[in-house]
């Protein structure tokens, strides 16, 4: 019985440890300094400001976030970039999850970065 | 862009399923109650094979828990968690076979793998089976059909 209890506690401890590690990593990711990369012209050309939304095909919340930004900030352009089709760009910008959203100026310089749909909705309310 | 594919689901449904599964398997292991393995193999199979309406825990979440909660912050594609549940069924069936073959150590080992991964998914949202599904889809080079918008 004691052995079984130790095994159960080990499994629970492992899960909790992974959760704590992930929480730390997510906080770091959200506060991460913007990378030095600049968005290519096809992403930001023709607009003073662009919301660049990194998506994946299985990201169910990415479509609604694109629509949310288009409605909440009609003065800015909104561009969805499928990270699975453009992995190089996603890698350049350190994208690890979808949606990851950047606000960029007209020259392609990233201004702000958000990880996750909640962070975007909080920063850019409807 | 997001107009085809299955309707996105509330991810808290599969998370509830995974939490109940992990708890049940850990308690079953603690009490050496081996029947919990085939019982939850059937519970997982019903949801994975026939959809959330037929999975007892998924249905309990949809009819009892969800109405008391607010809308989900995010939705998810139903295919990866269904695949993950199917993998869980395979492991639990193998575990039950191990028990029947007189190898309880192997049986509980397989069940504890399922419990750990289900607990991980429930607590962190990291679904290893879902990641395997995405990896296989990429490996096969299949065009990935996006999930429909709600």
Report CB contact under 8 Å: A8, B29: yes
pTM score, whole prediction:
0.69
Q: Which spans in chain B are helix H?
A: 12-31, 36-50, 56-60, 79-100, 104-124, 128-139
Report CB contact under 8 Å: B1, A7: no
CA distance A99 to chain B (A): 10
């990429």: which residue's tokens?
B138
pLDDT higher than 60, residue B64: yes
End-to-end, the C-alpha distance of chain A in Å comes to 55
Measure the CA–CA gap between B60 and B51, rounded to whole angstroms.
Answer: 13
Report CB contact under 8 Å: B147, A58: yes
Measure the CA–CA gap between B147 and A31, rounded to whole angstroms.
Answer: 30
E strands present in chain A: 49-55, 77-82, 100-105, 110-115
Tell me which of B143 and A22 has the higher pLDDT: A22
Residue B94 DSSP SS3: helix
Measured between beta carbons, the chain B residues lying within 8 angstroms of A14 are 116, 120
Measured between beta carbons, the chain B residues lying within 8 angstroms of A59 are 77
Report pLDDT digits (tens) over A84-106.
888 888 878 878 778 889 999 98
Question: In A, residues 42-61, which contact B (CB 8 Å cutoff)?
Answer: 57-61
Chain centroid to CA A95: 6
Report CB contact under 8 Å: A12, B119: yes
Sorted by sequence, the CB contacts under 8 Å of residue B9 that are 6+ apart come out as A60, B52, B75, B76, B77, B78, B81
φ/ψ of residue B140, rounded to 5 = -80, -10
Could you tell me how many CB contacts below 8 A there are between chain A and chain B?
A: 76
pLDDT higher than 50, residue B53: yes
Report CB contact under 8 Å: A8, B30: yes
ω into residue A99 within 30 of 0, thus cis?
A: yes
Of the listed ranges B36-40, B50-54, B110-114, the least confidently predicted one is B50-54
| Percent of chain A with pLDDT strictly greater than 70 | 91
Measured between beta carbons, the chain A residues lying within 8 angstroms of B119 are 11-12, 15
Q: And the tokens for B91?
A: 């492991």
Tell me which of B131 and A53 has the higher pLDDT: A53
pLDDT category of residue B5 using cuts at 50, 70 and 90: low
């Amino acid at each position: 019985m004691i052995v079984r209890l130790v095994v159960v506690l080990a499994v629970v401890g492992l899960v909790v440890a992974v959760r704590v590690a992930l929480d730390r990593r997510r906080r770091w990711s959200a506060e991460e300094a913007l990378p030095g990369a600049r968005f290519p012209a096809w992403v930001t050309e023709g607009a003073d400001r662009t919301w660049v939304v990194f998506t994946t095909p299985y990201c169910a919340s990415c479509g609604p976030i694109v629509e949310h930004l288009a409605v909440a900030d009609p003065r800015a352009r909104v561009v969805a970039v499928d990270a699975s089709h453009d992995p190089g760009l996603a890698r350049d910008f350190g994208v690890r999850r979808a949606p990851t959203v950047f606000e960029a100026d007209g020259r392609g310089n990233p201004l702000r970065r958000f990880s996750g749909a909640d962070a975007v909705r909080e920063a850019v309310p409807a | 862009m997001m107009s085809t594919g299955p309707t996105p689901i509330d991810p808290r449904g599969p998370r509830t399923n995974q939490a109940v599964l992990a708890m049940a398997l850990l308690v079953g292991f603690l009490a050496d109650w081996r029947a919990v393995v085939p019982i939850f193999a059937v519970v997982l199979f019903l949801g994975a094979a026939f959809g959330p309406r037929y999975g007892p825990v998924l249905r309990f979440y949809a009819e009892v828990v969800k109405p008391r909660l607010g809308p989900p912050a995010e939705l998810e594609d139903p295919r990866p968690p269904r695949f993950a549940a199917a993998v869980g069924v395979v492991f639990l069936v193998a575990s039950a076979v191990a028990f029947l073959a007189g190898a309880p150590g192997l049986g509980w080992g397989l069940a504890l793998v399922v419990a750990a991964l289900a607990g991980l998914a429930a607590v962190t949202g990291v679904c290893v089976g879902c990641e395997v599904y995405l990896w296989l889809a990429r490996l096969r080079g299949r065009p990935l059909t996006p999930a429909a918008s709600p």
